[in-house]
Amino acid sequence: MRSAFELDNVTKKFGNATALDGVTLSIPERAIVGLIGRNGSGKTTLLHHVVGLQLPTSGRCTTLGRPTEMLGSEELSRIGVVWQEGRFLDWMSVDQHIRYVSSFYEGWDVVREQSLVTRLELDRKAKVGALSPGNAQKLGIVLAVCHHPKLLLLDEPMSALDPISREHVLAFLLELLHEDGATTVISSHVMRDIESIVEWIICLDRGRVTVDSPLDTPQDRYNEWVVTSEQPIATDFEEPWVLSQRTNEHKAHLLVRDAADRVEWFETKYHVDVQSQPMNLERIFPLLHQHNA
């Protein structure tokens, strides 16, 4: 399968600070990818490299088949981006801004635009500079998707949205993904937002990729064990794959890694009952960082 974008050993330095450190990635077309990482881990810098706004200090970055420093009108008009901090022309009204950005693209979908503006309850007459952060994000989404992009990059697209708008945006994104078949990268701190959409996960930590796998993989690797016993549980479990534990007299909660086939062995060794439960991404995320996958 062709790649929507590839990074080959990309390093980006700003003075002495290293924002990306030897990042190698390949995102296949039509994939839906969650990009997760702590503040300052390099997520936005990575997205800047994908669209060619920043150039690597070393390494090579290719998007839609072209080196990013050579991206032309044809490729860039197939990319849609929602930036985390909202980059707008403050003096314009929402309507002016939409009309202005629509003129960049030949195939602007007015029907989609109208539908989205209505669903997201955007006031067309409002001044962009006076929009709340949530409404600014909604505007960013409208501007990013109405030209039917083949590569959609969403940098914290829902961080400022209220729960109802978040629902609307999520529902719309699912529709969009089916309709356009766009390769989508969603960067987010709010794991529960992206968990229901993404099928692949990339985790960045201090500019390095620590996880690059299907979403199922970390969910398979990390589990929560609820350990019960009729006898008091007095032991600290010292197995290296036990990442953390919370124990009271007859019950313990363990977070374990790569331990799916160790349940019986564990029950026998400690004379306990173990119930293994899956963990959501929200809970796995800190573990990915603490233990570097």
Binding residues vs other proteins (CB under 8 A): 48, 51-55, 69-73, 76-77, 79, 81, 85-93, 96, 99-106, 127-130, 133, 136
- Structure-token match 């970055």, residue found: 61
Q: Which residue, 55 or 174, has its beta carbon nearer to other proteins?
A: 55
For 41, other C-beta atoms within 10 Å of its C-beta total 22
Beta carbon of residue 85, minimum distance to other proteins (angstroms, whole number): 6
Helix-helix angle 163-180:110-119, to 10 degrees: 160
Q: Which residue, 72 or 232, has its beta carbon nearer to other proteins?
A: 72
Q: Which residue, 129 or 278, has its beta carbon nearer to other proteins?
A: 129
Q: Which residue, 107 or 240, has its beta carbon nearer to other proteins?
A: 107
Q: Which residue, 55 or 226, has its beta carbon nearer to other proteins?
A: 55
Helix-helix angle 133-145:94-102, to 10 degrees: 20
Burial 190-224 (b: 16+ CB within 10 A, else e): bbebbbebbebbbbbbebbbbbbeebeebbebbbb
Q: Which amino acid does the sequence have at 25?
A: L
Strand order in the sheet with 79-82: 79-82, 151-155, 183-187, 32-37, 200-205, 208-214
Beta carbon of residue 195, minimum distance to other proteins (angstroms, whole number): 27
Beta carbon of residue 13, minimum distance to other proteins (angstroms, whole number): 11
Beta carbon of residue 177, minimum distance to other proteins (angstroms, whole number): 20
Q: Which residue, 153 or 176, has its beta carbon nearer to other proteins?
A: 153
Beta carbon of residue 200, minimum distance to other proteins (angstroms, whole number): 23
Q: Which residue, 12 or 289, has its beta carbon nearer to other proteins?
A: 12
Tokens of 73: 């009108």
Beta carbon of residue 143, minimum distance to other proteins (angstroms, whole number): 8
Q: Are 225 and 260 in contact (CB under 8 A)?
A: no
For 113, other C-beta atoms within 10 Å of its C-beta total 19
Rounded to whole angstroms, the Cα distance separating 33 from 153 reads: 10
CA angle, corner 93, sides to 90 and 96, nearest 5?
110
Beta carbon of residue 138, minimum distance to other proteins (angstroms, whole number): 13
